[in-house]
Structure formats: structure tokens, C-alpha cells
Chain A
Amino acid sequence: MMRAVITFAGLASVLAVAGAASGAGTRETSLAAFAVMDQVLTGPRCQNCHTLTGFPRQGDDRHPHRFNVMRGDSGHGAKGLPCSTCHGRANNPSSGVPGADEDWHLAPLSMGWEGLSPALRCAHLKDPRRNGGRSGAALIDHLQTPLVTWAWSPGADAHGVARTLPPVSHAEFMQAAKTWVATGAVCPD
């Protein structure tokens, strides 16, 4: 099914048109901002660890993580085999193992987004019962943490092939997220 994709340039024009924003205009602005965010949320860099499975995924084809790697009770891997067994504090250019300056781990199952409609993904994103109790401001903060920003500096795999990036820059993503929160975090129907 074709899905309308609103680019950041498109969002900018929406914002410009919105101006002081009537109620309807604010809603359109918010929806447009979420559409920009959703391009990132549905990409493999985010979804491979925001799974609804008992394991992480890998690669742009989102295959199950090799070697029977499991989610574990806390999302930090199986007992005796935490994610940090292999994932360090930075991308490893010699082994191709990704890393970030934060304990590598999966998002909780409540934050799994696989297969959800944009409406449901959006609803889950802003639901404190599912998003780790985050307010809009806390959500904005989360989007600037090392594991999230890793998506924009994912390094290369063991064969030296660069991992693909999200379709919009982190700055554009953040602007869209701030707009979405500021306009009431409206979700698509």
C-alpha cells in the first residue's frame, strides 16, 4: 500500500502555512510532524531493537539476531550473555560490531513497534504506560540519548559496508518531534 511520505521540506511548508495555527491547522501540523518522525521510527535502525519479539533483529532485512541472541528478562540479553558481551561503548571499526556510549539493550516490549499501524505506534509512543512513563519533554530528551543518536552514526558492518541511515537527519527528526509535542502530539486515525 502506498503511504504518503511527508518530507521535512514538506513539513516546513506546512508549518509556514500553519502560522498562528487554528485548531485544525495545529492538528495538521502535528500530524505532519509525526509523519516525519514515523519515517525514522519504522526504519531498521530503530525497529531492530524496538521489537515485539524475544530477540533483537539485525540488518536492513531485519533478520533475527544471529547466534540465538535473546532479549532476556530486562532487555539486556540472556543471563550470562548480556548485550555488552559484544557491544561496546562505540562502534568497533575492526569487528563491525556496533556500540554506543550507553549499555546496549533492547527497548522494552511495551515499546515494540513492529507491525503496528502509524496510529497505534503513535498512540504507544505518547502513552506513559508504554513509553517508560515519559512526558513529552522526557520523550524529547530520550531522542537525544546515545542509543537513539547511534542510528545516525551506525558505522559499518564486518565487511566494511556502511549501515544505512534514517531517511531524515537527526536535526530534522528532533525538529519534527518538538513540533509534534508542542502541537499536542496528535496521532493519525
Chain B
Amino acid sequence: MIQLTVNGQRQDIDADPDTPLLWVLRDDLGLTGTKFGCGIAACGACTVHVNGAPVRSCSLPLSEAAGKNVTTIEGLSADRNHALQKAWIAEQVPQCGYCQSGMLMAAAALLRQIPKPSDADIDAAITNICRCGTYQRVRRAIQRAAGGGA
């Protein structure tokens, strides 16, 4: 049994320690907001926070999350009132939406480190892939959120 805290709730997980955290979140805990994209830590659709830092959960074994605090898109805010979530709506960022929970978690990690990021900061930190090509709107939404919310 491996213990971890997910969105503020302690969880005891009975799974192989090598299980990717993504599958624990989705299949064991039913938190399906975090998406599977590439499975090789490249696309960022599976981004969550572990102890506050962004992590590609498809490539993180459950054993490495043991005892840590995990935040998923469901835990980004209690009422969808995070500045990024409001900015995402204001800028109408998503098209298909599949990559957006990972985008939001990556953006939240960036703003924690750099509250007022430049475009270059955003380009360096947000390497997530969006096959709809919403990158310009992602950047605008991050800048909007950094400026005080939607």
C-alpha cells in the first residue's frame, strides 16, 4: 500500500509501485481530468503538480509520489476560480480541449515561479503540445492571469 495526498485528501493506493501516477489518478481515483497523450513525457497532457512542482504523470512511477502532495486539475481550485481558469474562459483558449488541463497545470506551475512572466518565460516553461494550435491564446491567457485575473 502506497500513501500519497491527492488534492488535499490522503489516499492509500494498492497498486504496483511502477504504475505510472497518471493511471493511479485516472483508474484508481477516478480523476479523469488529467489526460493521457503520448506516454513518453513529451506532450504534457498529463501534467500534475507533485509537491508544487510540475510533473509529467505518465512518466512518474507511483513509488516516486509516495508520501507527497499531488495536485491535479480537479484540485487547482475549489470553485474553478483560479486566475488561470478565469483567463482561460475569457480568452476562449481551448479548441478541442484535450491538452488544456495539462496546459493549465503547467501554467500554474510557471506563475508560482514567475508571477509576471515574459513571453520568453512562457515559451521556455510551456512546452506542452496542442494539436489545435492554441498556443497564442494560451500565452494571452497566462499574461491575462498574471495581470490580475479575467
Seen from chain A, the residues whose Cβ lies within 8 Å of a Cβ on chain B are 66-70, 72, 78-82, 84-86, 88-90, 92, 94-97, 158
Q: How far is the CA of A72 from the CA of B20 in the complex (A)?
A: 27
Interface of B (DSSP majority class):
mixed
Neighbouring A residues of B110 by C-beta, 8 Å: 79-81
Seen from chain B, the residues whose Cβ lies within 8 Å of a Cβ on chain A are 18, 20, 39-42, 47, 53-56, 58-61, 64, 106, 109-114, 117, 121, 123-127, 129
Q: How far is the CA of A92 from the CA of B64 in the complex (A)?
A: 11
Neighbouring B residues of A66 by C-beta, 8 Å: 42
* Contact A80–B59 (Cβ < 8 Å): no
* Contact A70–B124 (Cβ < 8 Å): yes
A-B contacts counted at CB < 8 A amount to: 78
Can you list 8 residue pairs at the A/B interface with Cβ under 8 Å?
A67-B42, A78-B121, A78-B125, A80-B113, A84-B53, A95-B39, A95-B58, A158-B40
Nearest-neighbour CB distance to chain B for A4, whole angstroms, equals 40
* Contact B40–A95 (Cβ < 8 Å): yes
* Contact A68–B40 (Cβ < 8 Å): no
Neighbouring B residues of A96 by C-beta, 8 Å: 40
Contact with A69, one of B111, B121, B127 (Cβ below 8 angstroms):
B127
* Contact B59–A78 (Cβ < 8 Å): no
19 further interface pairs, Cβ-Cβ under 8 Å (given A80-B121, A88-B59, A92-B59): A68-B123, A69-B127, A70-B124, A79-B114, A80-B54, A80-B106, A80-B111, A80-B125, A81-B127, A84-B53, A85-B54, A85-B56, A86-B59, A88-B60, A88-B61, A89-B64, A90-B61, A97-B40, A97-B59
